[in-house]
Amino acid sequence: MSVFIIAEAGVNHNGKIDLAYKLIDVACASGADAVKFQTFKTENLVSKNAPKAPYQKNITSQLESQFSMLKKLELDFSVHKKLINYCKKKGIVFLSTPFDHESIDLLNELNIKIFKIPSGEITNLTYLRHIGSLGKEVILSTGMSNLKEIEDALKILIDSGTSKGNITVLHANTMYPTPMEDVNLRAMQTIRDKFGVSVGYSDHTLGIEVDIAAVTMGATVIEKHFTLDKTMDGPDHKSSINPEELTMMVNSIRNIEKALGSSIKKPSKSEEPNIASVRKSIVASRSIKKGEIFTEQNITIKRPGTGISPMEWDSMIDKVAKHDYEKDDLL
């Protein structure tokens, strides 16, 4: 089964549907499996006095509250329907992360098949119960969390009605951008081994190398923020990859999937023709007459590999030549 690649548009549409359409176009052109947005009602998400995250303060206006910033980035019900229809037309899966109960209901009403839980909601009991009760596929991000919190969240989801087999847990770090030394990619394997679930990686590093590495380590889902232009105004653009990088990431992951191949060690079909020309055989090192004894002085090892294998060297020594050989003849 191929890695499920989510192109995370997030709020990089800046609240404008025309930009959202363009983001879908880019995601589709890249070869990603899904494009994901964020669904929230600002009044249900943050209080009017909630401060911005440190990375948001560094990128957006210091005078603007988190409430004001997010309010400009909301997508209403009608816009969701338009984006879903556009994704169907383009042949890419529409996803969106709900950040409150009203948004969960909205996405469920729109018949979204996969629910993505953001890192910030992993300790939100009623939120987890709500999504768990829907019995749909769930992708759970785990930034800022420890194993006990992940265990608790999984239990709530399963007890509420979601099958364990329908849950994929994403290792993540919520710092934008994430320093390389804080990625701790091996933790993804720890989650897989401890809880027996499918795992993936939600990436906020600069560049694409960590996403590719995650695939080699067993990620079944990759989520990556992208933007039309890193210089645009907004909280996430500078930590997102551009369209060219997104396409490169998708292509690299698909190549790595092919390269991982099988665990069986044997000659590949592409290299089988090389066996004859690259391996060696036992050959005459000089003229040998019928009846002579093969010795280390009259036989040697050279290409091609179409004769007696050099692994039979010991068994050939002291044998009698059954006919004449010229120099370099295969025995």
Q: pLDDT by residue (tens digit) across 5-29?
A: 999 998 889 889 999 999 999 999 9
* Residues 213 and 67 reside in one and the same domain: yes
* Residues 134 and 42 reside in one and the same domain: yes
CATH assignment at residue 15: 3.20.20.70
pLDDT for residue 66: 73
- Mean pLDDT for 101-109 is 96
* Residues 147 and 57 reside in one and the same domain: yes
Q: pLDDT band at 58, cuts 50/70/90?
A: low
Asked if the model's pLDDT at residue 237 lies above 70, the reply is yes
pLDDT for residue 299: 98
- Mean pLDDT for 196-215 is 97
Asked if the model's pLDDT at residue 316 lies above 60, the reply is yes
* Residues 11 and 66 reside in one and the same domain: yes
pLDDT for residue 56: 58
Evaluate whether 195 touches 158 at the Cβ level (below 8 Å): no
pLDDT for residue 53: 65
Asked if the model's pLDDT at residue 63 lies above 80, the reply is no
For the packed helices 147-159 and 186-195, what is the interaxial angle rounded to 10 degrees? 40
* Residues 196 and 250 reside in one and the same domain: yes
Q: Which residues pair with 302 in a beta bridge?
A: 281
Helix residue spans in the chain (DSSP H): 17-30, 42-45, 54-59, 66-71, 77-90, 101-109, 125-132, 147-159, 186-195, 209-216, 243-260, 274-278, 313-316
- CB neighbours (10 Å) of residue 137? 16
- Mean pLDDT for 69-74 is 75
Average model confidence (pLDDT) across the chain:
94
Asked if the model's pLDDT at residue 210 lies above 90, the reply is yes
pLDDT for residue 220: 98
Asked if the model's pLDDT at residue 45 lies above 80, the reply is no
Q: How far is CA 6 from CA 36, 177, 201, in A?
A: 7, 18, 10
The phi, psi pair for 183, rounded to 5°, reads -65, -45
Instruction: Say what percent of the chain tops pLDDT 90.
Output: 83
* Residues 29 and 111 reside in one and the same domain: yes
* Residues 232 and 308 reside in one and the same domain: no
* Residues 228 and 299 reside in one and the same domain: no
- Mean pLDDT for 313-318 is 98
Query: What domain count does the chain have?
Result: 2
Q: Which residue has the higher pLDDT, 47 or 105?
A: 105
* Residues 281 and 219 reside in one and the same domain: no
pLDDT for residue 245: 98
pLDDT for residue 71: 73
How much is the pTM?
A: 0.88
- Which SS3 state, helix, strand or coil, does residue 323 take? coil
Domain end: 231, 260, 289, which one?
Answer: 260
- Mean pLDDT for 285-312 is 98
CATH assignment at residue 310: 3.90.1210.10
Task: Evaluate the CA torsion angle 215, 271, 307, 299 in order and state its sign.
Answer: negative
Domain end: 260, 293, 315, which one?
Answer: 260
Asked if the model's pLDDT at residue 61 lies above 70, the reply is no
- Mean pLDDT for 90-108 is 97
Q: Which residue has the higher pLDDT, 182 or 56?
A: 182
* Residues 269 and 146 reside in one and the same domain: no
* Residues 80 and 40 reside in one and the same domain: yes
| Alpha carbons 18 and 14: distance in angstroms, whole number | 10
Lowest-pLDDT choice from 74-88, 126-140, 210-224: 74-88
pLDDT for residue 203: 97
Domain span including residue 275: 264-331
Domain end: 228, 260, 292, which one?
Answer: 260
* Residues 50 and 196 reside in one and the same domain: yes
What residues contact 246, with CB distance under 8 A and at least 6 apart?
7, 26, 27, 30, 32, 224, 226
- Mean pLDDT for 159-178 is 97
**Beta-sheet pairing, 299-302 with 281-284:** antiparallel
Q: pLDDT band at 47, cuts 50/70/90?
A: confident
pLDDT for residue 65: 75
pLDDT for residue 44: 76
